[in-house]
Amino acid sequence: MGHDHARILEEDVPDATLQVVCDVAEAAARRTADRYGAVDAVTDAFAAIAREDVDAVLIASPDPTHAPLTLAALEARKPVLCEKPLAPDVASCLEVMAAEEALGALLVQVGFMRRFDPTYVAMKDAGADLGQAVMMHNFHRNVEAPAGFTPAMAITNSAPHEFDIARFVLDTEISAIAAYAPDSNVGTACRPVVMVLRTAAGQLVTIEVNNNAAYGYDVRAELVGTTGSANLPAEPSVRVDTSLKAANTYSADWRPRFAEAYRLQNKAWIGAIQSGVPAPGAATTWDGYCATAIATAGEAALAAGVMMPVELIPVPAFYAGQGVAA
Residues that bind ligand ISE (CB under 6 A): 142, 157-158, 161, 254
Contact 215, 191 (CB under 8 A): no
Q: Report, in angstroms and rounded to the nearest whole number, the Rg of the chain calculated over CA atoms.
A: 20
Q: Which is nearer to ligand ISE, 159 or 325 (CB)?
A: 159
| Distance of closest approach, residue 44 Cβ to ligand ISE, in angstroms | 25
Query: How far, in whole angstroms, is CA 90 from its chain's centroid?
Result: 16
Q: Which is nearer to ligand ISE, 38 or 58 (CB)?
A: 58
| Distance of closest approach, residue 191 Cβ to ligand ISE, in angstroms | 15
Give the Cα separation of 269 and 195 in Å (integer).
31
Q: Which is nearer to ligand ISE, 119 or 203 (CB)?
A: 119
Closest chain position to ligand ISE (CB): 158
**SS percent in the chain: helix, strand, coil, step 5:** 40, 20, 35
Amino acid at 160: P
| Distance of closest approach, residue 49 Cβ to ligand ISE, in angstroms | 22
| Distance of closest approach, residue 52 Cβ to ligand ISE, in angstroms | 32
| Distance of closest approach, residue 230 Cβ to ligand ISE, in angstroms | 21
| Distance of closest approach, residue 40 Cβ to ligand ISE, in angstroms | 27
| Distance of closest approach, residue 161 Cβ to ligand ISE, in angstroms | 5
Query: How far, in whole angstroms, is CA 221 from its chain's centroid?
Result: 15
Nearest alpha-carbon partner for 140 in 154, 152, 127: 154
Contact 71, 95 (CB under 8 A): yes
Q: Which is nearer to ligand ISE, 258 or 318 (CB)?
A: 258
Determine if residue 202 is left, alpha or beta; phi over 0 gives left, psi from -120 to 50 gives alpha, anything else beta. left
Contact 97, 315 (CB under 8 A): no
| Distance of closest approach, residue 1 Cβ to ligand ISE, in angstroms | 8
Burial class (CB in 10 A: 0-12, 13-18, 19+), 126: middle
Contact 140, 225 (CB under 8 A): no
Cis peptide before 85 (omega within 30 of 0): yes
Q: Which is nearer to ligand ISE, 158 or 203 (CB)?
A: 158
Q: Which is nearer to ligand ISE, 139 or 254 (CB)?
A: 254
Q: Which is nearer to ligand ISE, 115 or 161 (CB)?
A: 161
What is the enclosing helix (H) or strand (E) of 223? strand 218-225
Q: Which is nearer to ligand ISE, 54 or 93 (CB)?
A: 93
Secondary structure of residue 161 in the 3-state scheme? helix
Q: 194: which DSSP letter? A: E
